[in-house]
Amino acid sequence: MEEDPNTGTGERPKILNNVTGWIGGLTAVVIALAGLKAAYNQLNPSAPAEPADAQQAASTEPVEDASAPVDEQAAAAELPTKYTGTWENKDVTLEWRNGIWVETTAGGTDDEIVTKYEQLSRNETTTNAIDRDRKLYVRWPTDGGTLEESEDGNTWTRSYEVTAA
């Protein structure tokens, strides 16, 4: 059987084979780019907050995570939301306010230092947070104990003792 120059194999025109290949290639590129964008969004902690997140953080009412099981919500409600301690002879207060941990260090009336931490995780044993501006991780026992700091999330140093208030 002689091969037709327009069909190649006698079954499908060559143009359809080429179009099918191009469509498959473009589909693969689009999927790969979507995957890269999703990975970048998850790895980029300095991305601006979505408007809904900003409204939620600005709200004065505590926000419940509707996706969390009811038992976890009840357990979280019973965990301490304020801690006190002393760092370099200065009183420190670490308090949950409007969806973030606010650390206030005061050695007098004029020299107050405020640091804000985004909570990463929390359970009955440990609370983990991050100051994204300074790229500083902190963690402390949820019932009180030694607050620790880390720049890389792997090597931790003791900072000061916190007591649940």
Check if CATH label 2.40.128 holds for domain 72-164: yes
Q: CB burial class (10 A; 0-12, 13-18, 19+) of residue 99?
A: middle
Q: How many CB atoms lie within 10 A of CB 59?
A: 11
| Residue 151 pLDDT | 95
Partner residues linked to 147 by β-bridges: 160
Ranges in the chain, pLDDT < 70: 1-10, 16, 42-77, 107-111
CB 131 within 8 A of CB 149: no
| Backbone φ, ψ for residue 122 (5° rounding) | -160, 135
Give the largest CA-CA distance in the chain: 98
pLDDT in tens, 89-123: 889 999 999 999 999 988 655 667 889 999 999 99
Residue whose tokens read 């179009």: 19
Domain positions in the chain are 72-164
Distance CA 46, CA 143 (A): 30
Distance CA 127, CA 131 (A): 14
| Residue 2 pLDDT | 57
Pairing assessment for the beta strands 157-164 and 136-141 based on DSSP bridges: unpaired
